[in-house]
Structure 1
Amino acid sequence: MNPLSQYVRRTPTMHVTVDGRPLVLKLEHLQLTGSFKIRGAVNKLLSLDVSEVVTASGGNHGIAVAQAAQLLGAHATVLVPVTAPETKTRRIEALGAKLIRHGNTYAEAALAARELGLPYVEAYNDPKVIEGQSTVTREIVEDVPEVDTIAIAVGGGGLIAGAALASEGRHIIAVEPEHCCALHNALQAGSPVDSEVNSVAADALGATRAGDLPLEILQQHHVSSVLVSDEDILAARDRLWADFRLAVEPAGAAAFAAFVRGDVPGELPCVVLCGANSEWQPR
C-alpha cells in the first residue's frame, strides 16, 4: 500500500507506437499539481509534523509544497527566482502559500529561503523527497513489469534517484537539455559542480548543481546520461500533442525527445512525462 495514496494520484500508463517502436508513456503530467513533485513534497511534510515550512523552486516544486501544505494543514512560504513563469507563480499563490520573488536563479532563491529559519523542504537533495518520487517508478514496475528501460528528464536528480532505487535493475536513462545538465556534469566530474542553466526547460530542470544524495545513489546504479537540444524538446512537445493529444511543458517532453532521437534503447522502454505546467497552448 502506497502511504501517499490518499494524497496523490496513481497516474496511468499509455501504450503507443512511435516510428515503428513500442513505447510506454507514464502520464505523470496528470498528477494532482501537474507534475511528479507532489509525491516528494507530501512525503517530506508527513515526516516533519510542523505547521510552517519554506522552500525554493523554479515553479513545480513550489506548487507541490504549497499543495502538500494545504492538504496537511500547514502553511508554506515559497521563494522563486524573478524568472519563474506566471503560470506557476499564480498557482502557488492560489494554493494559499506566501510567494516571494528573489534572485535570478533557483540557487539564489534557495539561499535566501534557508535564511528565513523555517523548516526547509528540499526540492531533490533529501531522502524523504527521493522516497516520495520513487513511487512514480514503483507504479511503472507494478503496472507494466515488462518495461526494461525508463527515461526520465532530470533537474537536480530527485526523480531519477528515486527511479534508480525502485527500478529493480531496469536500465535508467537521465535526459537533460544540452545547456542545462547539472547531473551530466556531476557524473563526469564525480561530484556536483556548478553548471550553466540556459534552456527552454530551465524553470523545471534548471538546477545549478545536482544534489549530493541523488548523485551518490545514481553512482551505485546503471544510469546513462543523454543530452537533447531545446529544438529537440520543443519538437517532441509538439509531437506529443499532434500524435497523442498529450499537452506537456518542455521539461515533460525532454525524455520523449531522447526516445525520438533514438537514444532510449530497450524492447519496451518507458518515458516519463513529468510535468504540464506551461503557458504554452497547443494548436
Structure 2
Amino acid sequence: MNIPAIGLGTYRLKGQVLTDSVHNALELGYRAFDTAQIYENEADLGEAIASGQVPREQLFLTTKVWISNFHHDDLLASLRESLAKLRTDHVDLALIHWPSPNNEVPMREYLGALREAKALGLTKAIGVSNFTIDLTRQAIEILGADAIATNQIEVHPYLQNRALIAYLREQGIHVTAFMSLAYGAVLKDPVIQAIADKHQASAAQVALAWALQQGYAVIPSSTKRENLAGNLQATQLRLDDEDMARIADLDRGERVANPGIAPAWD
C-alpha cells in the first residue's frame, strides 16, 4: 500500500473548525485525512468530507482504535461505529493507537481482531502507532512485517527516533511521523529559521521537508488556509546535505506526546 506522503491531521479539531479546515484542504489538493476514535471528531470529519465534493475513492482515510476497544468483539464493533461516523464502508488504514497499557489485552487478541477487520473489508490496510522496537517485533511475530502498513510515531527535529526508525526500515515498515512541528517549538529554532531563509521557505516547510526527504509520511494539522497551502508545498522543497546535517544535530530526545499509557520508549 502506498500511504500518501502528506495528509491532514485532525487532532484537537472539531465542529465548524474541522469542517472549514477539511474543506480548505480538499480545495487545495489534500486527499489524505487522519483521525482517531479518541479525537471524538470522526462524525465531524465524515460530514465535512461528504459535503466536500471529492469522491470517496479519491480519498485516503486513516483512523485509530482506542485502547478501551481492544478486546476482539469490541474492536470490530468500534471500527464499524467509526465507519458509520465517517460515512464510509471502509477506511484505507486502521491503526492500533497505543499498545495496550501493561498488556491488559494481549497483543495477539487485538492485532488478530485488526487482521480480521481487514479480512472483512472494514479497512484496506492495518498498522500500529506508538510501538517501540520490542513491541513492533512482537507485532511482526503475530502479523508478519508485510501486513503492517506503517508505524505512526512522534518524529520531528527535536525527537528523531533513530533506533526505532532504523529497525522499521530494516523490517520494511513505513514510518508515519506525527507532531512534525512539536506543537510549534521547532518553528522558533534558529537553525530551522536560517535554513528557511536560505530557501525562501517557511520554518514549517523546512521541518516537513526534512521528514519527507527521509521517506516518512507527515500529517500536520492546521486551521488556516495559508498554512495548509504552505504545508502542502513542503513536498516541493529540497533540502541539501548541509541542511539535513544541521537538522540532524538538533536531536535532543524531546518528546511531546508522552501520556501515562505510553510504553517504555526506546
TM-score by length of 2: 0.31
Normalized per residue, the structure richer in helix is 2
- Please give the TM-score of this superposition, normalised by the length of structure 1: 0.30
